[in-house]
């Protein structure tokens, strides 16, 4: 399925680390190369034709992103990725808004980038970090959220899909309930936007971030979405060219409108154009087709893993294409090293969710994260390699 579109598949890899990053189709690489070879000028300097073309392409990419997530074009800010997006939201928006004693709801299965910025904010303003309870499957329910909301809750910040447990959170229902109680909702879409339909108007999220490289796009480009009225209140963390209207020697600064106000300096033009091409590519396949296929493939993988006695899956019930497991008595890193000998790429570790272990008691796991280009045959190869524990023990060192 679509494998011929990806140069990386000319090599003999079974790539199962799509939660970390994805392979790039030739069409994305071509779009980037086209920019560097044929109209390699700066943006927003429309004094000559190739620069004007840059504007068209760069703003065209913004339009593609806006349509992809059903946002208005001015609500799409390009940045380096989800991590920068979350930091910008925390330090540029909430830093001005919170009062001592306010509460921030996150979960123990969040990625570091949706934990550490909030920790720093909490330490600075004397806020309370509140963890949503996880159910037996390590999932979050609306009831769980309701149980920790208080009159001091200011914001709920959650990944839509978590990167270890792989559960898909009921974001729309959470937003509906939160907004009734005047609580903001920030969503980390790094693991969800690449794999399923995202509609910010339907879900009504206040802020959403995601990364281009996890959805067939280039590294170093990502998106911060915010509702227009909220982005207007977001203080730019970086000042410089491209974001100011004018300034004078009396230190008066007049800023541009959003989103340019939040994109100081020469933007990642090639990255944005590449992301635009990636979105075209994904749209062509269809986001619904992608999530349906991944779910089937994941169910197949789980059913096969369950047949192997020495394997313990920690997230059997997850709705995404992420499966985390361990082999009894073998350190996850050794499993990854063993699989690498057969060109199978999986991730071992805590996957940046370092407080999850306090809930699961499991610090490290082997993680398989699927994408639409993975195949049933690849799963069969993986299963065959995992079946024989003696072989793993023998070949892991």
Partner 1 sequence: MNTELKRQIMLDNYSNPFHKETKDKDYIKTNANNISCIDDINLFLKIENDIIIDAYFDGEACAISTSSTSIMLKNIINKNINDVKEYINNFENMIYEKEYNKDILKEALVYDEIYKQENRKTCATLPYEALKKAIAKN
Contact positions vs partner 1 (CB under 8 A): 331-334, 337, 340, 348-350, 363-364, 393-394, 396-397
Residue 191: strand, helix, or coil: coil
> Backbone dihedral region of 338: left (phi > 0), alpha (psi from -120 to 50 degrees) or beta?
alpha
Q: What are the two backbone dihedrals, phi and then psi, of residue 15, each rounded to the nearest 5 degrees?
A: -95, 110
CB of 326 to partner 1, least distance (A): 12
Preceding amide of 259 cis, omega within 30: yes
CB of 116 to partner 1, least distance (A): 17
Query: What does each C-alpha distance from 236 to 92, 203, 370 come to in angstroms?
Result: 6, 26, 36
Q: Closer to partner 1 at the Cβ: 116 or 352?
A: 352
H helices of 105-247, in order, are 116-125, 142-148, 171-180, 200-203, 228-231
Q: Closer to partner 1 at the Cβ: 148 or 393?
A: 393
CB of 392 to partner 1, least distance (A): 10
Count of alpha carbons within 13 angstroms of residue 1, beta-carbon side: 15
Q: Closer to partner 1 at the Cβ: 158 or 327?
A: 327
Q: Closer to partner 1 at the Cβ: 100 or 329?
A: 329
State how far the Cα of 165 lies from the Cα of 91, in Å rounded to an integer.
Answer: 28
The one catalytic residue in 37, 175, 345, 352 is 352
216 counts as catalytic: no
CB of 88 to partner 1, least distance (A): 26
CB of 325 to partner 1, least distance (A): 15
In what helix (H) or strand (E) does residue 14 lie, and over which residues does it extend?
strand 14-15
CB of 396 to partner 1, least distance (A): 6
CB of 51 to partner 1, least distance (A): 41
CB of 390 to partner 1, least distance (A): 11
Q: Is residue 132 within 8 Å of 104, Cβ to Cβ?
A: no
Q: Closer to partner 1 at the Cβ: 14 or 171?
A: 14
Q: Closer to partner 1 at the Cβ: 277 or 366?
A: 366
Residue 269: strand, helix, or coil: helix
State how far the Cα of 48 lies from the Cα of 69, in Å rounded to an integer.
Answer: 32
H helices of the chain, in order, are 26-38, 49-69, 82-88, 116-125, 142-148, 171-180, 200-203, 228-231, 269-285, 287-306, 332-340, 357-360, 376-387, 389-395
Q: What are the two backbone dihedrals, phi and then psi, of residue 133, each rounded to the nearest 5 degrees?
A: -65, 140
Q: Closer to partner 1 at the Cβ: 26 or 350?
A: 350
Q: What are the two backbone dihedrals, phi and then psi, of residue 291, each rounded to the nearest 5 degrees?
A: -70, -35
Sheet holding 76-79, edge to edge: 76-79, 222-226, 207-211, 184-188, 153-159, 103-106, 128-131
Q: Closer to partner 1 at the Cβ: 317 or 334?
A: 334
Pair type for strands 207-211 and 184-188: parallel
Strand partners, 129: 104
Closest Cα to residue 361, out of 326, 335, 396? Answer: 326
State how far the Cα of 31 lies from the Cα of 276, in Å rounded to an integer.
Answer: 9
Catalytic residues: 352
């Amino acid at each position: 399925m679509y494998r011929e579109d990806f140069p990386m598949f000319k090599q003999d890899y079974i790539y199962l680390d799509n939660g970390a990053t994805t392979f790039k189709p030739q069409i994305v690489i071509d779009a980037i190369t086209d920019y560097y070879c044929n109209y390699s000028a700066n943006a927003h300097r429309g004094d000559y034709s190739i620069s004007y073309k840059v504007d068209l392409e760069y703003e065209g990419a913004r339009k593609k992103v806006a349509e992809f997530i059903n946002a208005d074009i001015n609500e799409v800010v390009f940045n380096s990725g989800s991590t920068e997006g979350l930091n910008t939201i925390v330090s540029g928006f909430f830093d001005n808004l919170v009062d001592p004693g306010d509460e921030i709801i996150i979960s123990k299965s969040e990625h570091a980038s949706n934990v550490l910025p909030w920790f720093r904010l909490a330490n600075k303003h004397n806020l309370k970090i509140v963890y949503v309870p996880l159910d037996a499957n390590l999932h979050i329910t609306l009831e769980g959220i309701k149980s920790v909301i208080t009159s001091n809750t200011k914001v709920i910040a959650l990944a839509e899909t978590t990167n270890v447990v792989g559960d898909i959170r009921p974001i729309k229902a959470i937003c509906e309930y939160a907004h009734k109680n005047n609580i903001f909702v920030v969503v980390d879409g790094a693991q969800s936007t690449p794999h399923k339909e995202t509609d910010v108007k339907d879900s009504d999220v206040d802020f959403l971030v995601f990364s281009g490289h996890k959805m067939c796009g280039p590294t170093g480009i990502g998106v911060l979405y915010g509702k227009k009225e909220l982005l207007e209140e977001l203080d730019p963390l970086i000042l410089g060219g491209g974001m100011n209207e004018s300034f004078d020697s009396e230190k008066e600064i007049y800023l541009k409108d959003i989103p340019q106000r939040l994109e100081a300096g020469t933007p990642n033009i090639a990255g944005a154009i590449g992301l635009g091409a990636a979105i075209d590519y994904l749209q062509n396949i269809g986001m619904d087709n992608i999530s349906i296929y991944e779910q089937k493939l994941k169910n197949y993988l789980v059913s096969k893993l369950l047949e192997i006695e020495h394997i313990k899956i920690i997230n059997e019930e997850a709705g995404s294409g992420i499966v985390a497991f361990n082999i009894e008595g073998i350190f996850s890193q050794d499993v990854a090293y063993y699989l690498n000998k057969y060109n199978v790429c999986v991730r071992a570790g805590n996957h940046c969710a370092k407080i999850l272990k306090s809930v699961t008691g499991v610090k490290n796991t082997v993680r398989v994260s699927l994408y639409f280009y993975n195949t049933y045959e690849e799963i069969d190869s993986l299963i065959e390699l995992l079946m024989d524990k003696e072989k793993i023990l023998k070949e892991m060192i």
